[in-house]
Amino acid sequence: MTFFLACLLHPETQKKAQDEIDLVTGRERLPTFQDRPRLLFVDGICNEVSRWIPIGPLGIPCVTSEDNIYEGYLVPKGGRGFMVYCCGHYNSSQGDPR
């Protein structure tokens, strides 16, 4: 739903994404995962849509791919977590909202 809302609000962005897809696929086929490295603008749109209005209140769950030490704490491989929704929206140039 968020993607379609973004397309309605920003038709020029939708057009630019379609142009990139057409350039990569030649308008003869649908894009595949093998095309992803050449669809940088489309990939950026997908990332921004996920950040802009996440599908869940906490965002998308993540699983660590290897052991990691963060500020002295072990986050083991396979550890699960969520990116807190507001973290993706903080803009340091706007200052502290409190």
Report the predicted TM-score, pTM, of the whole model to 2 decimal places: 0.58
Residues 61, 32 share a domain: no
Same domain, 48 and 86: no
Q: Which residues contact 3 (CB under 8 A, 6 or more apart)?
A: 45, 46, 49
pLDDT score, position 37: 95
Same domain, 41 and 61: no
Q: Does residue 62 sit in the same domain as residue 91?
A: yes
Q: Over range 79-96, report the average pLDDT.
A: 65
Does 88 score more than 60 pLDDT? no
| Count of structural domains within the chain | 2
pLDDT at 64: 87
Half-sphere exposure of 72 (CA within 13 A, CB side): 0
